[in-house]
Amino acid sequence: MADSGSRGGVLVTGAAGGIGAASVRALADRGYRVFAAVRSEGVASRALAELPGVRVLTMDVTDPVGVTAAADLVAAETGQAGLRAVVNNAGVIVQGPLELQSADELRRQFEVNTLGPIYVTQAFLPLLRAGQGRIVNVTAPSARVPVPFMASLSGSKAALDAVSAALRLELVAWRIPVVLVEPGSTETEIFDKAGAASKQSLVLVAPTRLALYREQLAAVDRAAAKLRQRPVGPVARAIVSAVSARRPRRRYLVGDARVISVVLRLPAGLRERMLAGMLGLRGTRPKG
């Protein structure tokens, strides 16, 4: 383990669990001073606060005023040194038939996954300029190969991809790299949280409308249950590489995200049939 903070400061959003918490630990182990931003304080954040070199702060990425206040707090602690990196990791999955998703759920999807990283980037760029730092955005394979019944998630991550590509060029003048980390299916609580939120929101949908999708949703559930999720370690290591590489890549692919580049080379029709087959959607008949 290196001296705490000897390699500069890094902000990680969505740090309470999953990929965020694993990245905080991996970065602190390598000697970074880590600002671990959590949506709300709890057992997980208290455990992080006990790690050497880790400073926990609360920040809801969808609240631009709160994000600015968090940036002021970090600026006061880092002084002239600024930050080495901002890791936009906070994210949620809003799942289910797009036709039935509520306006609140759609807004939450885009606010957390797309607008959140933009608010954080805007507020923390002065610290990144001071520290000759970089932006690391955590995206998903669905940004490049959109997934049915995860349409809003796919859209939110595709938008983040596009925003990152444009921002990369805007920040060339300051040599601030904008890096994407794209994990494949990873063992975290994000899927259980998405399932619970979807169940809660579908309660409000008329049973006749919900029945239209019953067969497809059952097929997707069966396919999801078979999906192999990999541990968070390799994703955290990719985030460390994205933060520490002298010349970072534009995109770090982890786990089964690597096959996406191959899938993208297939003709669109074949790709869609493959995806439908993988999700068990071929042969399902609409009910209405």
Sites of contact with ligand NAP (CB under 6 A): 13-14, 16-20, 39-40, 60-62, 89-92, 112, 138, 140, 183, 185-186, 188-190, 193
For residue 176, the number of C-alpha atoms closer than 13 Å in the C-beta half-sphere is 28
C-beta of 5 vs 182, nearer to ligand NAP: 182
Q: At its nearest, how many Å lie between ligand NAP and the CB of residue 39?
A: 4
Q: At its nearest, how many Å lie between ligand NAP and the CB of residue 242?
A: 13
C-beta of 5 vs 18, nearer to ligand NAP: 18
CB atoms within 10 A of CB 44: 17
* 9-13 and 33-38 strand pairing: parallel
C-beta of 83 vs 92, nearer to ligand NAP: 92
C-beta of 32 vs 60, nearer to ligand NAP: 60
Q: At its nearest, how many Å lie between ligand NAP and the CB of residue 23?
A: 9
Q: At its nearest, how many Å lie between ligand NAP and the CB of residue 182?
A: 7
C-beta of 39 vs 213, nearer to ligand NAP: 39
Q: At its nearest, how many Å lie between ligand NAP and the CB of residue 107?
A: 12
